[in-house]
Structure 1
Amino acid sequence: IANTEQAIQRSNAISYSLGLYSGALMAVDSIAKLGVSVDVKTFDTELNKEKVRSILAKQNMGELDAIIGPLQADILKEVASQANQYQIPIIAPLTSESDLSLPNVFFSVPADQILRNRMLDYVEALKTDQNIIVISDSKNDTTRILIKQRFPLAKSIQVLEDEENISLDIEAFSLLLSLEKENWVFVETDNFKLVASVTSILNSSNTEETPVRMFTTNKNKAFENDVVSGTHLSNLNFTYPSIYKETANDAFVRSYRARFGSSPDRYATRGFDLTYDLLLKLAYRPDLLAVSESIGLTEYSGNKFDYAKDLASGYFNLASYIMMYQNMSIKQITP
């Protein structure tokens, strides 16, 4: 089992790395067209901490302006610790937080708490007299409590769980639905079977007499599983916070397609946006730690960045999107 888990981890890491790397190549090309010269060095960590130590030992760290990656948290910690001695900023491409307490790390992925608060702020600003219901499993009871704190009149129902099954009491849930008000239902779980089941139930309940809209504060992989109906999500105007938006057919997408023969996935788009943001800021002033305190929100093809400094733990990205399924597509909502 351990070997299988390691193989899956390595496969995912390779997929993410290739996407990020292809996007970063596009960013370097794009910045060069603006007349900015960039000296880029690329290294394969092989998911090995000793390999990383060997790479770092051969580098003149004092000549580096910034480092993007590595992806893995333990290897990232090794690089960040050594780079901190030279005040070199480290950009964590896919990490929102860790046990690192170093002032030179830029966590480019907004933390779950940031996304959750963004979603609740959006709902609170939009709400008039809607009937709010929270469906959660035991793992996400803390989120249920947070939603109830924000909306004291919200109703809640926890799912039925045993060793093999997880389900929703349909009769108990139907009693919570309002016939006079629109029903806004938060679904808080990371179990794809529960997401599929609840989404189906909500879709069946969504009628002219009992309109239902579906929300979550954490759209994890469970909501992206193939067993979850995209049609149902669209019918329910499923709304969620996100670190990225759907890319349009912009200059980056067209250039990427021309170069690689396919459209960029979310990791390629992130690789472009992350690298382009870094290079533009360094071109403006070759001191990322300083420039990040004077430049606010930046946005590119599919991602945006707004770093806030924590005195001991580095910089954290506060920027995010609110996205909604509608008419079989996903659109960005501007609060």
Structure 2
Amino acid sequence: PKQTAFSLTRKLGVTYEELLALNPELRDGLKAGMVLKLPKEQKGDFDVKNALILDKINLVDSINSMIKPKLLFLLPFRLDRLNLSDDVSAKSAIENRKDVRYSLGLYSGAMIALDSIAKLGISVDVKTYDTQLNRNRTKSLMQGENLMNLSAIFGPLEPQSLKEVALQAAEYGIPVVAPLTEKSDLSLSNVFFAMPTENVLQEHMMSYVEGIRTEENIIIIADQKNKPTESALLMRFPGAKIVTLKEDRTVDIEKISELLSAEVENWVFLETDQANVVYHVGSLLNSLITEEVSIRLMTTDKNKAFDSEVVSYSHLSNLRFAYPSASREVGYNGFVKMYRKRYGADPDAYAVRGFDITLDLLLKLAYKNDLVKASKLIGETEYTGNKFNFTKDRTSGYFNMASYILGFENMRVTELKD
């Protein structure tokens, strides 16, 4: 719709005088293609996507009940490896096979999303196949399926099968949603990668720190593998101090003590994928906290090392450990209530992800019946434990640019607002 300077002020939540002060050229009127400056923290009835200002869209209120999406689920349930006649054997196989556990979690959450969308009056045609983690079987399934009028494909999980599905689906213009993948080594222009990349998470964390920092003393501890991250942090925070790990992968207590400030809070970035380093640095920093010296621990990459059983949860809490994450913790809500009622158990992180991705997918399809078009029009969306903001790369598909910043506080993990 055609905008005027005054209609923009209502949408952007600023006065005409504020808009004019930042954009003097508006005195000559609003022109097509004009780039406008806004106050840095301005919030209004809009989203910014690819530098474009978009009207906020309530997907639930914008769905068209006449649209009937058609979905194809391709997941490695590994029914070929499960003895369903033996409950003990089947349970053991599920617990010990990540592919089965991931698939069942994602699919169980997706089923709750289908129930939810049905309550909104949207009928969905669903087909589900077990890929058995086999590329040849996946290829055969795709060749035997009528792909005409298919709205989207959910999965598969295995990289080679994902490539096979994406290439066949591309011939029909069908989008493929990769629920647990952040990128591919092959250009897949029709794939929506639901996991934010490591670079997206790193950038979010650095931007978060940049936005809240005043005079804090920044210290960086990085192992050899993470020297590129150390360099990136130094570029963003030129005055940061470097602590080098010793040959035994420990930190010299005297050296780090000399770098700690008693005047301002100390923010320590720890960049490593080694659990013993996390354990040692966490314990050391925790011992150096005094009434005069305040220390906060951070990282741009919370990998498995930080979740190791040797790492003290209480130390991380004392250090108010902060990090970027693709998802957030889920409390008791409507989704959990529905999941418990249907399955008699609490959802795991994969069930939450399956629900959020499927609901996002179905709401967008029910809005435009075209995931690509809907994604161009819609900014960031957020559900139970995940958020999505898909941006098209020129040649390599759609990447999720949304993530969270989480932090430990009083033995709990909470979301930290930007």
Shorter-chain TM-score: what band? over 0.9
Map of 1:181 onto structure 2: 264
Task: Report the alpha carbon displacement of residue 204 of structure 1 after superposing the two structures with TM.
Answer: 0.9
Q: Secondary structure at the match of 1:190?
A: coil
Equivalent position to 1:28, from 114, 124, 141: 114
Counting only pairs closer than 5 Å after superposition, residues 314-333 of structure 1 correspond to structure 2 as 314-333=397-416
TM-score after normalising by structure 1: 0.94
Matched, 1:192 2:278: no
Counting only pairs closer than 5 Å after superposition, residues 229-244 of structure 1 correspond to structure 2 as 229-244=312-327
1:238 corresponds to which letter in structure 2? F
Structure 1 CA distance, aligned partners of 2:308 and 2:102? 18
Counting only pairs closer than 5 Å after superposition, residues 221-232 of structure 1 correspond to structure 2 as 221-232=304-315
TM-score after normalising by structure 2: 0.76
What percent identity do the matched residue pairs reach?
54
Q: Secondary structure at the match of 2:267?
A: strand
Map of 2:50 onto structure 1: none
Equivalent position to 2:180, from 88, 94, 105: 94
Q: Secondary structure at the match of 1:40?
A: strand
Task: Report the alpha carbon displacement of residue 296 of structure 1 after superposing the two structures with TM.
Answer: 1.2
Task: Report the alpha carbon displacement of residue 221 of structure 1 after superposing the two structures with TM.
Answer: 1.2
Q: Is the 8 A contact 1:130 1:182 kept in 2?
A: yes
Equivalent position to 1:45, from 89, 108, 131: 131
Q: Is the 8 A contact 1:323 1:333 kept in 2?
A: yes
Deviates further, 68-77 or 265-274: 68-77
Name the Cα RMSD after superposition: 1.6
Structure 2 CA distance, aligned partners of 1:175 and 1:11? 48
Superimposed CA distance per residue, residues 216-269 of structure 1 (whole angstroms, 9 cap, x where no aligned partner): 001111111122111111111111111111112110011111222221111110
Matched, 1:252 2:338: no
Q: Secondary structure at the match of 2:127?
A: coil
Q: Is the 8 A contact 2:316 2:408 kept in 1?
A: yes
Map of 1:158 onto structure 2: 244
1:131 corresponds to which letter in structure 2? N
Map of 1:14 onto structure 2: 100
Structure 1 CA distance, aligned partners of 2:164 and 2:139? 8
Q: Secondary structure at the match of 1:86?
A: coil
Task: Report the alpha carbon displacement of residue 284 of structure 1 after superposing the two structures with TM.
Answer: 1.0
Superimposed CA distance per residue, residues 301-332 of structure 1 (whole angstroms, 9 cap, x where no aligned partner): 00010111112111111111111100111111
Structure 2 CA distance, aligned partners of 1:312 and 1:320? 23
Structure 2 CA distance, aligned partners of 1:13 and 1:156? 40
Q: Is the 8 A contact 2:163 2:188 kept in 1?
A: no
Structure 1 CA distance, aligned partners of 2:304 and 2:176? 27
Structure 2 CA distance, aligned partners of 1:15 and 1:176? 46
Matched, 1:201 2:284: yes
Map of 1:295 onto structure 2: 378
Q: Is the 8 A contact 1:138 1:158 kept in 2?
A: no
Matched, 1:312 2:398: no
Map of 1:283 onto structure 2: 366
Map of 2:208 onto structure 1: 122
Matched, 1:69 2:162: no
Task: Report the alpha carbon displacement of residue 166 of structure 1 after superposing the two structures with TM.
Answer: 2.8
Task: Report the alpha carbon displacement of residue 27 of structure 1 after superposing the two structures with TM.
Answer: 0.7
Q: Secondary structure at the match of 1:63?
A: coil
Unaligned runs of 5+ in 1: 1-6
Task: Report the alpha carbon displacement of residue 172 of structure 1 after superposing the two structures with TM.
Answer: 2.1
Structure 2 CA distance, aligned partners of 1:166 and 1:262? 42
Map of 1:142 onto structure 2: 228
Q: Is the 8 A contact 1:195 1:223 kept in 2?
A: yes
Q: Is the 8 A contact 1:89 1:289 kept in 2?
A: yes
Structure 1 segments of 4 or more deviating over 3 A? none
Structure 2 CA distance, aligned partners of 1:206 and 1:44? 53
Q: Is the 8 A contact 2:139 2:161 kept in 1?
A: no
Deviates further, 273-282 or 68-77: 68-77
Deviates further, 54-63 or 264-273: 54-63
Unaligned runs of 5+ in 2: 1-92
Map of 1:3 onto structure 2: none
Structure 1 CA distance, aligned partners of 2:123 and 2:189? 27
Structure 2 CA distance, aligned partners of 1:207 and 1:24? 48
Task: Report the alpha carbon displacement of residue 198 of structure 1 after superposing the two structures with TM.
Answer: 1.0
Equivalent pairs counted in the alignment come to: 326
